[in-house]
Amino acid sequence: MTTIYLTTLGCRLNEAETSRWAREFQNEGHAIARAPEEAEVIVLNSCAVTTEAARKSRQVIHRLHRQNPGAHLVVAGCYAELEPAQVAALTGVDLVVGNQEKEALPRRMAATFDLHAMPALAARPGGAHMVAGSRTRAFVKVQDGCRNHCTFCIVTIARGAERSRSLAEVTAEINALHAAGYQEAVLTGVHLGGYGSDLGVDLATLVEHLLRHTDIPRLRLSSLEPWDLPEGFFGLWQHPRLMPHLHLPLQAGCDATLRRMARRCTTARYAALVDQARAAIPHLTLTTDLIVGFPGESEAEWAQTAAFVEALGFAHIHIFTFSARQGTAASRMRGQVPGEIKRQRSQQMHAIAARQKAAHLAQFVGATRPVLWESGADQADGDVQWSGYTDNYLRVVALAPAGLDLQNRITPAYLTAPSGPPADRLHGVFPFPTLTLTQTAHE
Ligand code: SF4
């Protein structure tokens, strides 16, 4: 048995890949270490989405080697894909695995190192194991690569052409995860909307197939570009196991800025899509990504973006201050916005986002929604404060008597306003005597 330590930087897709490698290694009878010091082989799934992310990846490589110089060190992911020679030259690195070979990482390691496998005693039918970390929600990679060329994005360069996992493969993984106790699967990819472009099917086909051939209580979609969505796509949300939460990256609320970003969307089309989604999906939580300070973003363009966001309203906005990523078209563009201006626009957008989040949460005060409880923290008075997410991705905390294990359980919760900071969550009250919880939750 070889002891392997896995660590991830970057996106949900990287997390999904690392979790799958962990399950594969365990199926082969290897052990997953909880710390680099305990491992014979260390694997880093790296990120290089920004220059800063690439620098962080280098830093982590140095730290991992320092923590355990005797272990083999494998570097995979976007930093390894974009700078293979640079990575291979870093002290302690024994194997560099690019994005095109990621699926085969366990086999590459077996071919490179003497991985002495134990008989897969620990393996259970279906081969999914509970690995370290969250045991409630699993990120499931369904596709990789992207055909688009947004000018700020290095991912499309690092991840290559679109390729999809088969319906059967994704279904089998989700059923195995459910058998291992996971309550929620989050479908993730580089360009999720491009799912099936190489298989002659589309994302709607996949979601329908999963709703029919899996029983996991919750299916959620991760980030979804606001184009390439099949006709009638939002009709799928009539199914109660599809979670009413959409993350549709906007990036800018001004058509001139969107054109320089080479986004395949206009503000009018984005607004129309949001209207369709809100009409079709009750209790929808809409979140987005927004870049402030994109090259050439004048005061007038910025004002349009702020007004568009104000008009649409989002439950959460991931706000990114533009930083020129070497290797992207945007990094070579004229009109780079001064740092102080970017900082002011970021501050302004954070204020808008905080108001909109509070307004969205307020809509659900007094409602009862199902919550998947993820973690509990002991309180001084002996109670436990549980934290989890509703179906429509609202963060909820609730107090329950000690001894009541809510971990990984889905229960209804009556939602009340937060009684103080932080204001990014609601308080939950169990609309039934908690003592009955032991019987009711799974029925
Ligand atoms: S759609 Fe654009 S931002 Fe998204 S991965 Fe593709 S190129 Fe990058």
Q: Tell me, rounded to whole angstroms, the distance of Cα 101 from its chain centroid.
A: 21
Peptide bond into 422 cis (omega under 30): yes
pLDDT of residue 432: 57
- Average pLDDT of the residues in 268-278: 98
- Average pLDDT of the residues in 383-402: 92
- Average pLDDT of the residues in 363-372: 95
Is the per-residue pLDDT at 438 higher than 80?
Answer: no
pLDDT of residue 418: 73
Q: Token match 């966001």: residue?
A: 309
Residue 299 contacts residue 337 (beta carbons within 8 Å): no
Q: Rounded CA gap, 299 and 47, in Å?
A: 32
Cβ of 415 below 6 Å from ligand 1? no
Is the per-residue pLDDT at 312 higher than 90?
Answer: yes
pLDDT band for position 404 (cuts 50, 70, 90): confident
pLDDT of residue 131: 44
Buried b (16+ CB within 10 A) or exposed e, 359-387: ebbeebeeeebbbbbbebeeeeeebbebb
Q: Rounded CA gap, 234 and 51, in Å?
A: 36
- Residue spans per domain, the chain: 3-122, 134-355, 368-438
More confident call, 426 vs 319: 319
Q: Token match 């169990």: residue?
A: 430
Tokens of 264: 């395949």
pLDDT tens per residue across span 186-197: 999 999 999 999
Proportion of the chain above pLDDT 70, given as a percent: 91
Q: Counting atoms of ligand 1 from 1, which one is nearest the CA of 263?
A: 2
pLDDT tens per residue across span 140-174: 999 999 999 999 999 999 999 999 999 999 999 99
Ligand 1: centre distance to CA 216 (Å)? 29
Sheet hosting strand 285-292, strand order edge to edge: 245-247, 285-292, 316-321
Domain 134-355 adopts which CATH fold?
A: pyruvate-formate lyase- activating enzyme (3.80.30)
Residues ≥6 apart with Cβ < 8 Å to 35: 5
pLDDT band for position 430 (cuts 50, 70, 90): confident
- Average pLDDT of the residues in 189-208: 97
Is the per-residue pLDDT at 437 higher than 70?
Answer: no
Task: Say if strands 184-188 and 426-429 run parallel, antiparallel, or are unpaired.
Answer: unpaired
Q: To the nearest whole number, what is the mean pLDDT of the chain?
A: 91
Q: Rounded CA gap, 382 and 363, in Å?
A: 32
Ligand 1: centre distance to CA 268 (Å)? 20
Q: Rounded CA gap, 395 and 372, in Å?
A: 10
Is the per-residue pLDDT at 124 higher than 50?
Answer: no
pLDDT of residue 120: 46
Q: Which residues are paired to 68 by β-bridges?
A: none
pLDDT of residue 132: 46
pLDDT of residue 117: 54
Cβ of 155 below 6 Å from ligand 1? yes
pLDDT tens per residue across span 178-187: 999 999 999 9
- Average pLDDT of the residues in 195-206: 97
Residues ≥6 apart with Cβ < 8 Å to 443: none
H or E stretch including 372? strand 368-378
Is the per-residue pLDDT at 60 higher than 90?
Answer: yes
What type of residue is 265?
A: C
**Residue minimizing CA distance to atom 1 of ligand 1:** 148
pLDDT band for position 114 (cuts 50, 70, 90): confident
Q: Which residues are paired to 96 by β-bridges?
A: 75
Proportion of the chain above pLDDT 90, given as a percent: 82
Ligand 1: centre distance to CA 315 (Å)? 22
Ligand 1: centre distance to CA 153 (Å)? 6
Q: What is the CA radius of gyration of the chain?
A: 23
More confident call, 436 vs 282: 282
pLDDT tens per residue across span 405-427: 999 999 999 998 876 666 677 88
pTM of the model: 0.90
Ligand 1: centre distance to CA 297 (Å)? 20
Task: Say if strands 31-32 and 41-46 run parallel, antiparallel, or are unpaired.
Answer: unpaired
pLDDT of residue 428: 80
pLDDT of residue 421: 65
pLDDT of residue 401: 86
- Average pLDDT of the residues in 384-396: 94
- Average pLDDT of the residues in 328-342: 97
Q: Ligand 1 pocket: which of 13, 144, 150, 154 to mutate (most atoms <8 Å of CB)? A: 150
Q: Counting atoms of ligand 1 from 1, which one is nearest the CA of 251?
A: 3
Ligand 1: centre distance to CA 126 (Å)? 34
Q: Counting atoms of ligand 1 from 1, which one is nearest the CA of 149?
A: 7
pLDDT of residue 126: 41
Cβ of 190 below 6 Å from ligand 1? yes
CA distances 379 to 398, 401, 404, 424, Å, are: 11, 10, 13, 20
Cβ of 45 below 6 Å from ligand 1? no
Cβ of 353 below 6 Å from ligand 1? no
- Specify the DSSP class assigned to residue 268: H
DSSP 401-423: -TT---TT-EEEEEEE--SSS-T
Tokens of 174: 């989700």
Is the per-residue pLDDT at 37 higher than 50?
Answer: yes
Domain 3-122 adopts which CATH fold?
A: Rossmann fold (3.40.50)
pLDDT band for position 1 (cuts 50, 70, 90): confident
